Structure 1
Amino acid sequence: MRVAQLLLSSLLCVALFGQAKLESDELQSNVGQASPIPQDGDASREASVEAQKLEYIVGLYEKEASDPVPKGREIKMVSSTGQEFSCVLPTGEAEEEEAEEDLKTMVKRKLLTAFKDQCLVSKNSGYWSYEVCLYKGVTQFHGEQSEDQRVSFSLGNYRKDLDDYPQLDEEDAERPSESAESRKIREALAVETPESVIYAQRYAGGTSGRRTLVQFVCVQQRSRFDGAPGTVIEVKEPREFHYTITVASPHACVSEYSSKSKVPVPKLLTPLKQQCIYMNQGWWNYEFCYNEHVRQFHMETVNTAVSDKETKTKKTTSQTVTTVDFFLGRKTSNSTIRIHKGETPSTSYASQEYYDGTTCDLTNLPRKVEVRYVCDADTTKSRIMSIQETSTCEYILVIATPLICVNETFQPVQPKLLQISCHPSMGSLEKGDKGADDDDDQD
């Protein structure tokens, strides 16, 4: 019972190009590098080819179909050896997807799998080094890494009940059953930049009450980690006995989790709430506060002379003041976020109109601004990329952000995998076997 490579490749060509029979020289010109891929057992061979963003797998079976015939168009094919096959061409219609795992559960499960029994060590933090044994504890030490040759302090033990998912929560989650002690730790170790953190852990009960926030941020270049699942990129002590350790990992990228591709852009932008982004461009400064306003202003340093009556001398004090201030637009009921699909994901963007800005002296109309959100997967923070006055007192502000990159609009198109199932027609198998026996006799 044999299925020759030529037979397999001929069927592949027939499936893709609609020909009934091909010679070996035609096969090379039409298929190129298509070749059989062995499967378990001797009963099937597969080959794949990519055409028009569709990837086909042709399965050849030496027995008649016993399973239900897949949906599609059935056609007859004849191999170069004369064997007849009945093949089903897939329709390409998407089948119903299985229920997806809860996104937070998926994130934690994948990170737990990647970092299981892993301890990350940071040795570039001055006098102290830090050892983060994820899901266990955090240690600060000086000297050799072995415990009997170093001075060390515990920075806390892992608290499962204090996990957060800043990018995945639309609002701060209500926790009515949380104890006062847990709430106090959570507030003391707040995530400062929720837009760049997909998952945060808290460690408490360390030496003299030390506590640590370990936050995971996305870095997609796996080559940076020398085979490790991640690395410590920053250690801070914002106040005494309170630490923030940032771990970069490709497993902390929301694009790793397919569920996010269906999440609407407005929800993906939720981490921008209650914060403002600034940019200086020449004489002007710009302020963007998501779902609130866009402001243009100028600031100057003013020196003021103050007389000291006791010493009878004058002192000069300096302060920065805003001298010119315009609102380019405010959020209104019409500020709906809309998706604009370009020819490619990189030319697509989401837009939002802000109206009712400061009245323009030249047009006597309120200023207005279109805010465009574009995907920037190479950064961990959202930023103002550009501002342009397209016509008098009308503006376009571009926000580059990693938050929306996971949405399907901004994802590269992936080839669809379609299977062409081929089974011998009734009586064809016996005919093929007889031909093969005759060949053996001639040899």
Structure 2
Amino acid sequence: MTTVDKEKYKCILPLIASGNEEEEKDYKGPTPGELLEPLFKQSSCSYRIESYWTYEVCHGKHIRQYHEEKETGQKINIQEYYLGNMMMKNPLSDPDQEEKENSKDGAKEIPTKNIEGQMTPYYAVELGNGTPCSLRQNRPRSSTLMYICHPEAKHEILSVAEVTTCEYEVVILTPLLCSHPKYRFRASPVNDIFCQSLPGSPLKPHNLEQLEKQQEMLKTPFRRVKEEEMPSTKEEKFSSIHKPVAVGSHQLLTVGTTHISKLTDEQLIKEFLSGSYCFHGGVGWWKYEFCYGKYVHQYHEDKESGRTSVVVGTWSKEEHMEWSRKNAARTFYLREDGTQTVRMVSHFYGNGDVCDLTDKPRQVTVKLKCKESDSPHAVTIYMLEPHSCQYILGVESPVICKILDTADEYGLLSVPS
């Protein structure tokens, strides 16, 4: 082999074994459906606990999302909806028959999914007839359960994601598929190529040595950044550190703790209260934009179709003041010394887009709450839908602690003096 710099090397290419392909071709054992049959027959359930919701997958039956809350007198209030139910027919019959027929001529192509950077084969089970979705003309929710091989797993739920509105993908780790060679995890083979320099050439090519030096420099933990390289604080976005949760009516739409702009507290408060600095949240299919004193939007961005946006609520000072006469705009906290301080304010944003389910405009109550944190610029955003197209947007941050005491009788905030 000769490099662009005319350096010459003799290289030995390794032999690549094809044992896995032979094993897959010769496999005569149970189909994936038959391997999973014990899991379906024993009626076992798997659970995943998120920050607000719990996901329940009862194999061969349903997937449910719910939240339990104890009220006064220890009464338990359960919020729940179903992401999908198994159809009336035997879930193993049709997939098994298809697998057996295709296995005769080897035509069955195993689907794969990118799991932590690796294309992983999975066995899919479809669930439909879930709780009606108001965002899709009241059509039922549906889910695809993706069972993947993991030798040490106990049927855990790896992830729950909403791939399109009210359609979900649930990845489940199970050891039951691992005896089938086509469903085993395939690590990308790494084969070393040994090269020896020929007379007149260096031990390593010049360009390779330069590349290794650059990579070593990148490992340096600190680098001085020029002022002009710093991003504009106006364009900074939230960077979520929580996993997405599903979207739909009567549920938690999103929750996540993020770190907001590096503006000083005084600048941030002024821009937030003027509505020029908006909070963004959401890590699933839907994202949320909250501009104080302006609006709350729900949106999805797609490279092909662009941005789809839903107006959840818009600000009207008069409407909010009317709302606050019937609802508590301020929530107080009693200090140890007996004095009161404002812990949370609630603002009403009405006149959103018309809801297909109720034929009324959407509306949202925004709850701004003081939340102490080690990070002074952390913010937690969550959205609930306790009633169809009537939302609660929670915004909690140490920054809010600094302005709550400015709230007047209507809960309206101002810049601290």
Structure 1 and Structure 2 fold alike (TM over 0.5) = no
TM-score (norm 1): 0.28
